Chain A
Amino acid sequence: MLAHDSILVSMAVVLFGIVAVPVAMRTGRRGLLPYAFAAVYTNFFLVSVAAFAMVYALVTHDFSVSYVAQVGGRSTPLLFTVISLWGALEGSILFWAWVLSMYAAAVVWINSRRPGNLVPYAAATLLFVSFFFAILLVGPADPFGVVSPVPPDGPGPNPLLQNHILMAIHPPLLYLGYVGMSVPFAFAVGAMLSGEVETDDWMRITRRWTLSAWALLSAAIIAGMWWSYEVLGWGGYWAWDPVENASFLPWLTATAFLHSAMVQERRGMLRLWNLNLVVGTFLLTILGTFLTRSGIVSSVHAFTTGTIGYYFLAFIAIVMLASLALVAGNSERLRSTGRFDSAASRETVFLLNNLFLTAFMFTVLTGTLFPLVAEAIKGVKVSVGEPFFNRMSLPIVVTLLFLMGVGPALPWKAASKAELKAKLVPPAAGAGLMLVIALVAGARNVYALLAFAFAGYAAFANLREYWIGMRARRTAHGEGWGTALVRLVGGNRHRYGGYTAHLGVILVALGIAASSTFRTEYEATIKPGETISLSGHTLRLKSMWGREEPQRSVVGATLEVMDGSVVKGTMEPRMNFYPMSQAPVPTPAVRSRLLGDLYVNLQAFRPDGSNATIRVIYEPLVPWIWFGGGVVVFGALIAIFPTGRRTDA
């Protein structure tokens, strides 16, 4: 019960910190501040104790702990036992609280010497959020409940979660990204509370935090898509499920903020807007958790949802109303110091980018909440499916791709006609090339064609920026291409990191456009020795097999990939039977090549192994999505990495 107590103690410590900051400010006793900071560190220590105690209980199969009895199992492999820390509600809240306490400790450690009132107020805000999670941990999401009598064994984690290694990566990335958004939020609130909102310091201090959180969230979304592709066996990677939308919503507003923050830094505009975006992003992370954890919208199997939804709702209401009052109270101080000079300028494109990203966010939010609205108003059960989201988001995505090509080409303030022509016309070659390729490949859908064309345009425009810069360095300094590239990027990493991230997004967009336009699939029941063919790929069923593992039984099919009569390789789709799960969990086999994946799933089989139903899907360019995600993160890393020469430029 050490763990449970340490959460209780942490609540007292946190409460002290929350109160100490305003008291210190109001009474002028700044000597209190170091104690408030100490509360942040102590909270980190105490929550760490609880988190490690939980991991210990999981690893030692201590089924007297309710969370272990719920997700643990003696036959579960060690790795999946450890990661079941975030496999269910209570553990994920504990993990969240732990990450938050870690961030708070780090941000205070780095900035505690800064004069002024911003950092103390930001620390108090982070403590306030921590306090909410501590309440959850002692109340509706207590993972340390006592189970009596102690069961001899547990069911093991949800089979879907213990079936792929990506489950060890996706959730922590998501939490790191989600929780990371609390830092810019805390500093935005801190700036408003301390009256230091005019200095824009809150934004400069948190620039790297925001970028890191964004990069982690991007990586988490891509990893989640990959997981669903590799585990669920339907050959897709995105279905607009509320859980997916929950991770995508804050990503959209955070992306908008990364762009509009530049307008504020350069031109002193959009200050009120940026504050709203940061607060909105944080709210969306909490809202996403609320939506998926409270059982308010239909999500994955979870019976006892309990009362946690009410706690979240109260927290959301408090944060929404308090930040609303703060922003309204500070809005006079947030007047723009600059103004828009011309329609043909980079800030205009950023403004449009923000408009469309926000519209995208509202579209997805509306689709996610619509079933709730429909039930509230008309009392009918409806579900909003893919067609709505696809139809609504395609025009937005296509426009954003176009803007991604136009933005980097335009200068700040205003562009002359000649400049516009020189910058905007050449990328059309990229658009034309992609359009021809798409037409030849057989695409006829207008949005698909536009997506390919604009992706080509944006790719050309962003690559051209590198090329222009490198060429200038070669002329000016006589450097080789390689040196020129390294020095160019090193000289303005913020900017070229952004362009690199653009290239990553374009790769992702191409992968999605190609796989949704050109995907082909075929399903057949075949006997061993027979073949199944799809668009030039032939697979021969060699054998069926079965295997008993400690935690599951596995049935698999071995298929040979044929090139004429030559065997080029084998693929082994499997079905896993977990004792606690009604339906088998598939493990499709994926054979990745540069231009696409061959995706094979075992749909059904005769128990005597005399035949198997195999679904073959050809998924063009899907590997580009995963690679593009990597490029996005790499771009963000370029922009984040600290330099000796320039700081927070």
Chain B
Amino acid sequence: MNWKRATIAAACVVPLIILFGYGLTRDPKDIPSPLPGHEASPFALAVFAPGQPPLNRAPGDTVRLAELKGQVVVLNFWASWCLSCRDEHQILSETAKTYAGKPVHFVGVLYNDEPANGTQWIEQMGGQSYPSVNDPGARTAINYGLYGVPETYFLDVNGRIAYKATGPVNERLIRHVVDSLMAAGAK
């Protein structure tokens, strides 16, 4: 065994492994978004999936951002062809129910999909507690700088984008963001 050589080689290799280990804890796509802190782009979109009482809205109703001022808004972009959306669906739906009666509004936005497919998907997935709206031509998605689905935008009571989650959300994240936004709004 040539210990000198082995030591030199190990001195090169070990930091590299540590560097990769560190790299795995980072997300290169977690690019600081210019949106948070800015006023959310207004929208007026028609409901295609009513949701379940008490969070429901009649199909065909228009959801306007302007009407939701003073409430925390959770805007979840999804599509029936999106696999990751399946992962978060149950979590979003169940978590939304627990906020019934509180100044929080969950809205699903269908992205690049047919409302019929969306309705069918919701049925298959066991229902959705909050209403979903259609976004024809993906105009709202473009305004929000959507990168892919699923993405979830959390709007504070003043209608500013407070936080953007890329990829499926988990319950802890939703609760943490929504609760702190509600607390800030109550002040």
- Say which residue of B9, B124, B125, B168 sits within 8 Å of A304 (CB atoms): B168
Whether a CB of chain A sits under 8 angstroms from the CB of B146 is yes
- The stretch of A49-57, A126-134, A316-324 in contact with B is A316-324
Are A310 and B84 in contact (CB-based, < 8 A)?
no
Residues of B5-40 contacting chain A, CB below 8 A: 5-6, 9-10, 13, 16-17, 19-24, 26-29, 31-32
Choose among A313, A324, A582 the residue that contacts B138 (Cβ–Cβ < 8 A): A582
Of residues B24, B82, B146, which shows the largest number of chain A Cβ atoms within 10 Å of its Cβ?
B24
Q: Which residues does chain B contribute within 8 Å of A320, judged by CB atoms?
A: 13, 16-17
The list of the 4 closest CB pairs from A to B, nearest first, reads A328-B6, A298-B28, A155-B81, A296-B23
Query: Once the chains bind, are B17 and A317 in contact (CB under 8 Å)?
Result: yes
Is B10's CB under 8 angstroms from A324's CB? yes
Cα(A22)–Cα(B9), bound, Å: 27
Residue B180, interface by CB 8 Å:
no
Shortest distance from the beta carbon of A361 to any chain B beta carbon, whole Å: 14
Q: A residues within 8 A CB of B166? A: 303
* Interchain CA distance A583-B1 in the complex, whole Å: 58
Q: Which partner residue on chain A sits nearest B20 by CB separation? A: A313
- Mark out the residues of chain B between 126 and 141 whose CB falls within 8 Å of any chain A CB in the assembled complex: 138, 141
Using Cβ atoms and an 8 Å threshold, which residues of chain A touch B98? none
Q: Is A363 an interface residue (CB 8 A)?
A: no
Contact between A296 and B20, CB atoms less than 8 A apart: yes
Q: Are B13 and A290 in contact (CB under 8 A)?
A: no
In the assembled complex, how far is the CB of residue A324 from the closest CB belonging to chain B, in whole angstroms? 5
Instruction: Decide if B28 touches A297 in the complex (CB within 8 Å).
Output: yes
Question: Which B residues are in CB contact (< 8 Å) with A328?
Answer: 1-3, 5-6, 9
What are 30 residue pairs bridging A and B, where the CB atoms are less than 8 Å apart in the complex?
A: A70-B83, A147-B83, A153-B81, A155-B81, A290-B20, A295-B27, A295-B28, A295-B29, A296-B23, A298-B28, A299-B28, A303-B148, A303-B167, A304-B87, A304-B167, A310-B24, A316-B20, A320-B13, A320-B16, A324-B6, A331-B1, A331-B5, A369-B19, A372-B19, A373-B19, A376-B19, A381-B32, A580-B79, A580-B112, A582-B146
Task: Give Cα A339–Cα B17 distance, bound, in whole angstroms.
Answer: 35
Q: Is the CB of A296 within 8 A of B24?
A: yes
Which residues of B lie under 8 Å from residue A317 when comparing CB positions? 17
Q: How far is the CA of A155 from the CA of B112 in the complex (A)?
A: 11
With a cutoff of 8 Å between Cβ atoms, the chain A residues found around residue B16 in the complex are 320
Report B119 CB to chain A, min CB distance, Å: 13
Point out the residues of chain B lying under 8 angstroms from A548, CB to CB: none
Question: Is B120 interfacial (CB-CB < 8 Å)?
Answer: yes
Contact with B along A167-204 (1 / 0, CB 8 A): 00000000000000000000000000000000000000
CA distance A152 to B6 in the complex (A): 57
A290 CA / B17 CA spacing, docked (Å): 12
Q: Residues of A contacting B84 with CB < 8 Å?
A: 303-304
Contacts beyond the supplied A296-B23, A320-B17, A369-B19: 15 A-B pairs with Cβ under 8 Å:
A69-B83, A70-B83, A155-B81, A290-B20, A296-B20, A296-B24, A301-B147, A301-B148, A313-B20, A317-B17, A328-B6, A328-B9, A372-B20, A375-B26, A376-B22
Distance, CA A155 to CA B168, complexed state (A): 18
Per-position binary interface string of chain A over residues 627-642, scored 1 when its CB falls under 8 Å from any chain B CB and 0 otherwise: 0000000000000000
Shortest CB distance B125–A (Å): 7
Known A-B contacts A153-B81, A313-B17, A580-B112; A332 and B23 likewise in contact (beta carbons under 8 Å): no
Query: How far does the alpha carbon of A15 sit from the alpha carbon of B43 in the complex, in Å?
Result: 59
- The residues of B that contact A70 with a CB separation of less than 8 Å are 83
Residues of chain B with a CB closer than 8 A to A329's CB: 1
Contacts of B31 in A (CB 8 A): 381
Task: Report the Cα distance A321→B29, complex, angstroms.
Answer: 31
| Residues in B whose Cβ lies below 8 Å from that of A332 | 2
Size of interface on A: residues with Cβ below 8 Å to B: 44
A313 near B21 with CB under 8 A, answer: yes
Chain B neighbourhood of A316, CB < 8 A = 17, 20
Enumerate chain B residues within 8 angstroms of A294, measured Cβ to Cβ. Answer: 23-24
Question: CB-defined interface of A553-588 with B at 8 Å, one 1/0 digit per residue?
Answer: 000000000000000000000000001101000000
A352-386 interface mask toward B, CB cutoff 8 Å, 1 = contact, 0 = none?
00000000000000000101110110000100000
CB distance from A604 to the nearest CB of B (A): 16
In whole angstroms, what is the CA distance A155 to B138 when docked? 17
Across the interface, B81 reaches (CB within 8 A) one of A66, A154, A304, A309, namely: A154
- The count of chain B contact residues (Cβ–Cβ below 8 Å) is 43
User: For residue A287, which residue of chain B has the nearest CB?
Assistant: B20
* B7 CB → nearest A CB, Å: 9
* A309 neighbours in B (Cβ, 8 Å): 23-24
Residue of B80, B81, B112 with most partner-chain A CB within 10 A: B81
B9 touches A324 (CB 8 A): yes
What separation, in Å, do the CA atoms of A381 and B23 have in the docked complex?
12
Q: Which residues of B contact A154 (CB under 8 A)?
A: 81
| Known contacts A328-B9, A582-B138, A296 near B28 by CB under 8 Å | yes
Complex: chain B residue closest to A332, CB-CB: B2
Chain B residue numbers with a CB within 8 Å of A290 are: 20
Q: Could you tell me the distance in whole angstroms from the C-beta of A471 to the nearest C-beta in chain B?
A: 48
Asked whether B29 lies within 8 Å of A324 as measured between CB atoms, the reply is no
CB of A436 within 8 Å of the partner chain: no
Give CA–CA (A324, B22) in the complex, Å: 22
Chain B 39-76 near chain A by CB (<8 Å), digits 1 or 0: 00000000000000000000000000000000000000
CA distance A316 to B16 in the complex (A): 10
In the complex, A429 has a CB within 8 A of chain B: no
Residues of A within 8 A of B6 (CB): 324-325, 328
Q: Does A149 contact B (CB under 8 A)?
A: yes
User: How many angstroms between the C-alpha atoms of A331 and B1 in the bound complex?
Assistant: 7
Residues of chain B with a CB closer than 8 A to A299's CB: 28
Residue ID in chain A nearest B81 by CB atoms:
A155
Rounded to whole Å, the gap between the CB of A401 and the closest CB of chain B is 29
- Which residue, B79, B83, B87, B141, has most C-beta atoms of chain A within 10 A? B83
CB atoms of B23 and A372 under 8 A apart: yes
B146's closest neighbor in chain A, by CB? A582
The residues of B that contact A372 with a CB separation of less than 8 Å are 19-20, 22-23, 26
Q: In the assembled complex, how far is the CB of residue B44 from the closest CB belonging to chain A, in whole angstroms?
A: 22
Docked complex Cα distance between A296 and B121 (Å)? 33
In chain B, residues 146-185, which have Cβ atoms closer than 8 Å to a Cβ of chain A?
A: 146-148, 166-168
Q: Which residues of A contact B28 (CB under 8 A)?
A: 295-299, 371
Minimum CB–CB distance for B87 against chain A, Å: 8
Q: How far is the CB of B93 from chain A (nearest CB, A)?
A: 15
B3 CB to nearest chain A CB (Å):
8
- Whether the pair A313, B13 counts as a contact (CB closer than 8 A) is no
User: What residues of B have a CB within 8 angstroms of the CB of A579 in the complex?
Assistant: 112
Least CB distance from B31 to A in Å reads: 7
Q: What residues of A have a CB within 8 angstroms of the CB of B32 in the complex?
A: 381
Residue on A nearest B27 in the bound complex, by CB = A295
**With A313-B21, A324-B9 given, is the CB distance from A149 to B124 under 8 Å?**
yes
Instruction: State the Cβ distance, A139 to closest chain B Cβ, in Å.
Output: 16
Contact A152-B120, Cβ < 8 Å, known A296-B28, A309-B24: yes
